[in-house]
Structure 1
Amino acid sequence: MHDIRFIRDNPEAFDAGLKARFLAPQSAEILALDAKRREAITRQQEAEQGRNALSKQIGQAKAKGDEAEFERLRGEVDRLKAVLEEAGAEAEKLDEALNQHLAGLPNLPELGVPVGEDEDANEEVRGWGEPREFSFTPKDHSDLGEGLGMLDFDAAAKISGARFSVLKGGLARLERALAQFMLDLHTSEHGYTEVSPPYMVRDEAMFGTGQLPKFAEDLFRTTDDRWLIPTAEVPLTNLVRDAIHDEGLFPLRMTAHTPCFRAEAGSAGRDTRGLIRQHQFHKVEMVSITTPEQSADELDRMTGCAEEVLRRLELPYRVMLLSSGDMGFGAKRTYDLEVWLPSQNTYREISSCSNCGDFQARRMNARFRREGEKKPDFLHTLNGSGVAVGRAMLAVMENHQNEDGSINIPKALQPYMGGLEVLRRD
Structure 2
Amino acid sequence: MHDIRAIRDNPAAFDAALARRGLPPQSSEILALDEKRRAIATALQINQARRNEASKAIGQAMAASDATTADALKAEVASLKESLPAMEQEDRDTSAALDAMLLAIPNLPADDVPEGADEAANVEVLRWGAPRAFDFTPQDHADFGPALGLDFESAAAMSGARFAALRGGMARLHRALAQFMLDRQSGENGYEEVNPPLLVRDDALYGTGQLPKFAEDLFHTTDGRWLIPTAEVTLTNLVRDQIVPLDGLPLRFTALTPCFRSEAGSAGRDTRGFIRQHQFEKVELVAICSPDDSPAEHERMVAAAEGILQALDLPYRKMLLCSGDMGFSAAKTFDLEVWLPSQQTYREISSISNCGDFQARRMNARFKPEGEKATRFLHTLNGSGLAVGRTLVAVLENYQQADASVIIPDVLAPYMGGVTRLEPRP
TM-score calculated relative to the size of structure 2: 0.98
SS of 2:147 mapped into structure 1: helix
State the Cα distance separating 1:86 from its structure 2 match.
Answer: 3.1
Distance 1:388 1:334 in 2: 16
SS of 1:335 mapped into structure 2: strand
Unaligned runs of 5+ in 2: none
SS of 1:294 mapped into structure 2: helix
Matches within 5 A, 1:378-393: 378-393=377-392
Residues 144 and 397 in structure 1, CA contact (< 8 A), matched pair in contact too: no
State the Cα distance separating 1:64 from its structure 2 match.
Answer: 1.6
Distance 1:63 1:223 in 2: 60
Residues 260 and 280 in structure 1, CA contact (< 8 A), matched pair in contact too: yes
Q: Which amino acid aligns with 1:5?
A: R
Query: What is aligned with 2:177?
Result: 178
State the Cα distance separating 1:55 from its structure 2 match.
Answer: 2.2
Note the alpha carbon deviations across 1:191-230, whole angstroms, 9 max, x for none: 1111000111111111111111110000001111111110
Query: What is aligned with 1:304?
Result: 303
Distance 1:416 1:168 in 2: 16
State the Cα distance separating 1:82 from its structure 2 match.
Answer: 3.7
Query: What is aligned with 1:279?
Result: 278
Indicate whether 1:163 and 2:162 are aligned: yes
Q: Which amino acid aligns with 1:295?
A: S
Indicate whether 1:319 and 2:318 are aligned: yes
Distance 1:386 1:80 in 2: 59
Distance 1:376 1:85 in 2: 33
Query: What is aligned with 1:50?
Result: 50
Matches within 5 A, 1:46-85: 46-85=46-85
Matches within 5 A, 1:11-410: 11-148=11-148, 150-410=149-409
Distance 2:74 2:247 in 1: 55
Note the alpha carbon deviations across 1:351-374, whole angstroms, 9 max, x for none: 000000111111111111123332
Distance 1:128 1:368 in 2: 38
Residues 47 and 81 in structure 1, CA contact (< 8 A), matched pair in contact too: no
Distance 1:219 1:278 in 2: 13
State the Cα distance separating 1:83 from its structure 2 match.
Answer: 4.3
Note the alpha carbon deviations across 1:48-70, whole angstroms, 9 max, x for none: 22222222321121012111111
TM-score calculated relative to the size of structure 1: 0.98
SS of 1:319 mapped into structure 2: strand
Residues matched between the structures, number: 425
Distance 2:222 2:56 in 1: 54
Note the alpha carbon deviations across 1:91-122, whole angstroms, 9 max, x for none: 11100000000000000000011111111110
Note the alpha carbon deviations across 1:263-312, whole angstroms, 9 max, x for none: 00010111010000000001000000111111111111000000000000
Note the alpha carbon deviations across 1:313-360, whole angstroms, 9 max, x for none: 010000000111110000000000000000000000000000001111
Distance 1:294 1:33 in 2: 35
CA RMSD of aligned residues (A): 1.0
Q: Which amino acid aligns with 2:118?
A: D
Distance 2:340 2:193 in 1: 30
Residues 132 and 399 in structure 1, CA contact (< 8 A), matched pair in contact too: yes
Distance 2:124 2:25 in 1: 30
Name whichever of 287-296 and 362-371 sits farther off: 362-371
Query: What is aligned with 2:5?
Result: 5
Distance 2:224 2:173 in 1: 34
Unaligned runs of 5+ in 1: none
Q: Which amino acid aligns with 1:187?
A: S
Distance 1:52 1:134 in 2: 84
Distance 2:18 2:358 in 1: 14
State the Cα distance separating 1:162 from its structure 2 match.
Answer: 0.2
SS of 2:383 mapped into structure 1: strand
Distance 2:402 2:278 in 1: 31
SS of 1:293 mapped into structure 2: helix
Distance 1:413 1:216 in 2: 37
Distance 2:197 2:32 in 1: 41
Name whichever of 52-61 and 123-132 sits farther off: 52-61
Distance 1:267 1:233 in 2: 21
State the Cα distance separating 1:42 from its structure 2 match.
Answer: 0.6
